[in-house]
Amino acid sequence: VAAGDSARLAALLEQLHPADIADLLEQVDSGRRREILLMGGRQFDGEVLSELAEGLREEVIAFLPPDVLAEAVRDLESDDVVDLIEDLEQPQQEAILDALEVADRVAVEQALGYPDYSAGRLMQREVVRAPEHWTVGETIDHLRAHKKSLPDQFYHVIVVDPGIRPVGYVTLGKLLASKRSVRLTALLEDSFRTIPVTQPESEVAYAFNQYHLISAPVVDEGGRLVGVITIDDAMNVLDEEHEEDILRLAGVGEESLTDNVLDIARGRFPWLVVNVVTAILASVVIAQFEEVIAQIVALAVLMPIVASMGGNAGTQSLTVAVRALATKNLTASNMWRVIRREALAGLLNGFAFAVIMGVVAVIWFGKPMIGVVIALAMVVTLMAAAVGGIVIPILLERLKVDPALASGPFVTTVTDIVGFFVFLGIATMVLL
């Protein structure tokens, strides 16, 4: 690449899947990215744009000459175009919309009319449907006659009533394996679900995952067929949601490897602010016990162990709780059982670490009472961490706050404050 050997580069890129080209573009720096794009000359595969990380799309679109861009987006399916342009700035959006054929442009603009992150944004409008009274033969003839306008990938023929309301669907496998004279209604699948066009995409992904759907018809308020969502779209959503959950649990906002330093620092700042506030709260607790610390400095030495153990135990149980809530496995019906189980598990590990830390403290400082103090603090703190780690996410969920985002700081605050208070409080009572 460095040598500027554009012919060889073009030949190399030719062999790569668009997703791999996108990955390649994401990994080089901005100047190199520009070089590669310009070397490509007149041809640029629209799918590379779709595969690109959102943060980079604007940059790449700005690099491309308008006519190359127009050519690139014209080959995309309507759902990919929607996905591509929904996060772009107004002028870039316009440029791409102008490049589309009229019918596609209308389709894309209608899709953009649906709420963000709804089924309407996710679906493709190219649908393969057939009226109820058709036979297999009629359906096959229809498909052969409209070969050009069929979507690239489709897995079912959706059977609709005269009002274009879906009544079921037939898998292509059954269609192929049945005689021409068989009626479509005889081949309908047992399980059939329609998706309302305004349903949030997270629920769409849940349904695909739970019911092993491959594709599902999308209907408007009147029950009329308006599009279809396929499993690859659902898989994408699932992937993004998981990513988001992991990052949220760690207090990182939407961040990608292609963001610049300022964006990164700014994205992480709010969580650190929350954390500094909770840490100061914990310090205020410590400040109440300055007297005992001044007399027995060993307490200052051991104190962080209590906080650290509480924080980790809390994170364990909150992560399990957040995941169980996200997968709808933790509900009102098993809530109390799960909380009781967490409390008992916390108590068990509390006793275990009470023994371990008690022995360590006695050996280290030679004072049995310090061992007793840290042992008691361990039991209470680990139990509080386990219970807090499950109760706080459940409460947040009830209050309609995303538990993945907000549980961390609350749980840490609880474990820190309980930990310091119990440890230093017991120390004051026992040692002074």
Binding positions for a copy of itself, 253-312, rule CB under 8 A: 255, 257, 260-262, 264-265, 268-269, 271-273, 275-276, 278-280, 282-283, 286-287, 290, 293-294, 297-305, 307-309, 311-312
Residue number with CB closer to a copy of itself (87 or 211): 211
By CB under 8 A, what part of segment 216-255 binds a copy of itself? 231-232, 235, 238-239, 242-243, 245-247, 249-252, 255
Give me the half-sphere count of Cα atoms (radius 13 Å) on the Cβ side of residue 223.
9
Beta strand pairing call for 129-131 and 156-160 = parallel
The CB-of-109 to a copy of itself minimum distance in angstroms stands at 25
CA-to-CA distance for 355 and 361, rounded, in angstroms? 10
* 78 Cβ contact partners less than 8 Å away, ≥ 6 residues apart: 104, 107, 108, 111, 124, 125, 126
Choose which of 11, 12, 19, 103 interacts with a copy of itself (CB under 8 A): 19
Q: Are 37 and 60 in contact (CB under 8 A)?
A: yes
Rule CB under 8 A: say whether 410 interacts with a copy of itself: no
Residue number with CB closer to a copy of itself (38 or 352): 352
Residue number with CB closer to a copy of itself (95 or 135): 135
Choose which of 2, 4, 42, 212 interacts with a copy of itself (CB under 8 A): 212
Residue number with CB closer to a copy of itself (134 or 208): 208
Residue number with CB closer to a copy of itself (66 or 283): 283
CA-to-CA distance for 302 and 423, rounded, in angstroms? 9
By CB under 8 A, what part of segment 370-409 binds a copy of itself? none
Residue number with CB closer to a copy of itself (348 or 395): 348
Choose which of 6, 10, 23, 167 interacts with a copy of itself (CB under 8 A): 23
The CB-of-369 to a copy of itself minimum distance in angstroms stands at 18
- Nearest-CA neighbor of 346 among 320, 325, 372, 373? 320
Q: Are 204 and 225 in contact (CB under 8 A)?
A: no
Beta strand pairing call for 156-160 and 166-171 = antiparallel
By CB under 8 A, what part of segment 81-120 binds a copy of itself? none
Rule CB under 8 A: say whether 11 interacts with a copy of itself: no
Size of the site for a copy of itself (CB under 8 A): 116
The CB-of-63 to a copy of itself minimum distance in angstroms stands at 19
By CB under 8 A, what part of segment 323-362 binds a copy of itself? 323-324, 328-331, 333-334, 337-338, 341-342, 344-345, 348-349, 352-353, 356-357, 360
The CB-of-10 to a copy of itself minimum distance in angstroms stands at 17
Q: Which long-range contacts (C-beta less than 8 Å, at least 24 apart) are formed by 144-151?
A: 150/126, 151/77, 151/124, 151/126, 151/127
Residue number with CB closer to a copy of itself (144 or 400): 144
By CB under 8 A, what part of segment 136-165 binds a copy of itself? 140, 143-144, 146-147, 150-151, 153-155
The CB-of-77 to a copy of itself minimum distance in angstroms stands at 12
By CB under 8 A, what part of segment 164-203 binds a copy of itself? 171-173, 175-179, 191
Residue 102: how many other CB atoms lie within 10 Å? 7
Choose which of 39, 316, 362, 431 interacts with a copy of itself (CB under 8 A): 316
CA-to-CA distance for 376 and 372, rounded, in angstroms? 6
The CB-of-338 to a copy of itself minimum distance in angstroms stands at 6
Choose which of 29, 102, 363, 399 interacts with a copy of itself (CB under 8 A): 29
Residue number with CB closer to a copy of itself (97 or 188): 188
Tokens of 353: 């670490």
Q: Where on the phi/psi map is residue 243: left (φ > 0), alpha (ψ -120 to 50), or beta?
A: alpha
